[in-house]
Amino acid sequence: MSVLDGWTLGEHEASGVIHPTYRKGSGPGVVVIHEIPGITADVVGFAEDVVAAGFTVVMPHLFGTPGADANPRSMGSALRQVCVSSEFTKLATGVTAPIATWLRSLARELHSELGGPGVGALGMCFTGGFALAMMVDDAVAAPVVAQPSAPFAIGKARGADLNLSPVDLATVKRRAGDGCSVLGVRYRKDPATGTRFETLTRELGDRFVRVELEGRGHSTLTAHRQQRAVDRVLAFFDERLKPGA
């Protein structure tokens, strides 16, 4: 029995790039982007909570093996895929990962189908900043960055970088100024997030909503899950995406 039983396998194509997707639920759309090493049981467990809260969840499969356990072997395999792929940026600052174009297209398609104020976008760990990059498109109304860890926080500049080009950052700031809040979740002492929350607060002001958990954990919604973080994410989606938002 697979952890993805009950999820509908599909695919999305944009600019000649195709990635598989897994879909479940009804209601407003939310794109949940998995962390390294991939769509694990913990990621699916969180996504099931979003479905149960009244949302249509789409999980794109970007790297790793769907349903694989999180262990040193799967982590290493996923990292190798990430490191050789031109869709992701690992160390460069001031750039937006190319995968953002594909993710924005996925969000637009979902919003066009389901309507409403927009869709949610949640990235975690290596993909945490992708939700910000998706916010450049007006289809995304509820971006969530969970323990954003790219580019890898080696040195002060990378640790503060938002994985956005200057043009995309300007658009994110404009949308925040127009009322689109960004929710951020991390463990307060997680070194992988660098000082990105401080950068987001400086750039977005009170439109960046910080949820900071005590300790040195990392995966706020999955392996080191705290219910407080999950509940706040679900409430944010309710506030931003459901009728009357």
Span 29-49, average pLDDT:
97
What architecture is domain 8-241?
3-Layer(aba) Sandwich (3.40)
**pLDDT exceeds 80 at position 244:** no
In the DSSP assignment, the letter for residue 207 is G
**pLDDT exceeds 70 at position 245:** no
Domain boundaries defined on the chain: 8-241
Span 224-239, average pLDDT:
98
- At 83 the pLDDT is 82
Give the HSE-up count for residue 107: Cα atoms under 13 Å, Cβ half-sphere: 30
**Residues of the chain with pLDDT > 90: what percent?**
87
Checking DSSP bridges between strand 29-33 and strand 17-25, what pairing results, if any? unpaired
Question: Which of 26-35, 70-79, 204-213 comes out lowest in average pLDDT?
Answer: 70-79
Instruction: Name the 3-class secondary structure at 186.
Output: strand
Asked if residues 39 and 24 have their Cβ atoms less than 8 Å apart, the reply is: no
The model's pLDDT over 145-203, given as tens digits with 9 standing for 90+, comes to 999 999 999 999 999 999 999 999 999 999 999 999 999 999 999 999 999 999 999 99
- At 89 the pLDDT is 85
Give the HSE-up count for residue 221: Cα atoms under 13 Å, Cβ half-sphere: 32
The model's pLDDT over 20-35, given as tens digits with 9 standing for 90+, comes to 999 999 999 999 999 9
CA angle 206, 183, 190 (to 5 degrees): 105
Average pLDDT for the chain: 95
Question: Sorting pLDDT into bands at 50, 70 and 90, what band is 62?
Answer: very high
Question: Sorting pLDDT into bands at 50, 70 and 90, what band is 68?
Answer: confident
Between 70 and 187, the more confident residue is: 187
**pLDDT exceeds 80 at position 74:** yes
- At 1 the pLDDT is 66
Assign residue 173 a region: left if phi > 0, alpha if psi is -120 to 50, beta otherwise? alpha
